[in-house]
Chain A
């Protein structure tokens, strides 16, 4: 049984919160640079250059890429041969988020109760997803999710006979509804299958993958490209002011589902799609 100290988890989480918020993911930066090469609209090019400049300033000055330092969505994969000591996983993660956000002067954007809305002052609790696997590894992804884009996400329960075109139409409608408000160009996470909630979980989880790498499943890689091309044809563009780049990429995760259903979820994420990965 490998022992993992709760304190070490907190330290790692704090470090990943800082990295996620101040260093734009290299795949996202690559995608923005690739978009800049293809873009022809003057204003769109200007905005894409500003995004690159912004990422530069954030990394150099260690200030957040975006003032919405987000709610922490934390994904842990822990081997059943590993054993956490000195505290619970949940507490360790929340302590790490609290420390990272306090020490680096990040915005505290979490309220205790969705109805009463008093700020917790700590940017906790994080939303924690835990998967238990074989072995004794410990892997953790910290995503900081801003709500400008999150608010434009959607789930739809399609009929089992729906097919690809309906799935694509739903994604296009969601992107059109997001418009300028979700800060395009967007990273579009898609979850297909499972149950109502699992599709949404998959949609968010898919955003952890490098956005310019192909989906390992061939039929999903083809679908990802098809969706991206159609989204870009919408012409919404950077900041919603027109252009060739409305999506930086599309990532899909799919799962087994019920014979009577086809749940589809779209998690809209902005050009500041932020996450960081670590292991213990």
Chain B
């Protein structure tokens, strides 16, 4: 079990291989379909996004609101595949790591290899458990999107598995029998 402090470094990523179990501590930013679409359209017009993408770890998630005083409640991963078409551009913009669930496309794998990034899997369907690892949360972009807004999450020992490492090895390829 590896422990990594965010923001994740190239050195951290270099030492990871598909299937490794990791505990992440630090800042994650939630971003799903609509935010990705907005970012890509913004890049065309050279707009500045509300968060610093360079070095960021994105979490594909739309949390439930929190019971006060918590800002978020249940926060498990959504299906990463829906963000595939936007991901190469996000990695071009400097995103270093992504957390979600499910397989990624060959184009995403190629972009991960090119940029020496990493894709993590969060335990699918464990929204309550993952929510309990979030120590602080606040909305930092697009509040009008409700659950799809960008949330800045401070997490501690957030359990993930390396899905695709910087060499393009895919945990799904090695494990799923046809």
Contact = CB atoms under 8 A, between A and B. Distances in A.
Contacts of B161: 43, 241
A101 to B, nearest CB: 9
B143 interface: no
A148 interface: yes
Nearest to A22: B128
Given A57-B128, A57-B132, A66 B176 contact: no
A47 interface: yes
B128 A54 contact: yes
Contact of A53 (B76, B101, B129, B131): B129
Nearest to A121: B146
Contacts of B103: 179-181, 240
B20 to A, nearest CB: 11
Interface string A251-280: 000000000000000000011100000000
Interface in A33-85: 43, 47, 50-51, 53-55, 57-58, 61-69
Interface in A164-186: 179-181, 183
Nearest to A235: B177
A106 interface: yes
A67 B67 contact: no
Contacts of A104: 67
A239 B101 contact: yes
B9 to A, nearest CB: 26
A29 interface: no
Nearest to B80: A181
Given A105-B73, A180-B172, A235-B176, A66 B127 contact: yes
B176 A239 contact: no
B123 A66 contact: no
A194 interface: no
Given A54-B128, A105-B65, A236 B75 contact: no
Given A105-B65, A107-B62, A235-B177, A240 B172 contact: yes
A101 B130 CA distance: 20
A42 to B, nearest CB: 10
A67 B124 contact: no
Chain A: interface size category: 35 or more
A68 B101 CA distance: 14
The main secondary structure of chain A at its interface with chain B is loop
A61 B146 CA distance: 23
Given A63-B67, A67-B61, A234-B177, A239 B123 contact: yes
Contacts of A43: 19, 161, 175
Contact of B62 (A67, A105, A151, A240): A67
A58 B171 contact: no
6 contacts: A54-B128, A63-B128, A64-B127, A65-B125, A104-B67, A181-B79
Interface of A: 43, 47, 50-51, 53-55, 57-58, 61-69, 104-109, 119, 121, 148, 151, 179-181, 183, 234-237, 239-242, 270-272
Interface of B: 19, 61-67, 73-76, 78-79, 81, 101-103, 121, 123-129, 131-132, 146-147, 159, 161, 171-172, 175-177
Given A43-B175, A54-B123, 12 more contacts: A50-B129, A51-B126, A67-B75, A68-B127, A151-B79, A180-B101, A180-B102, A181-B81, A235-B176, A239-B123, A240-B172, A270-B125
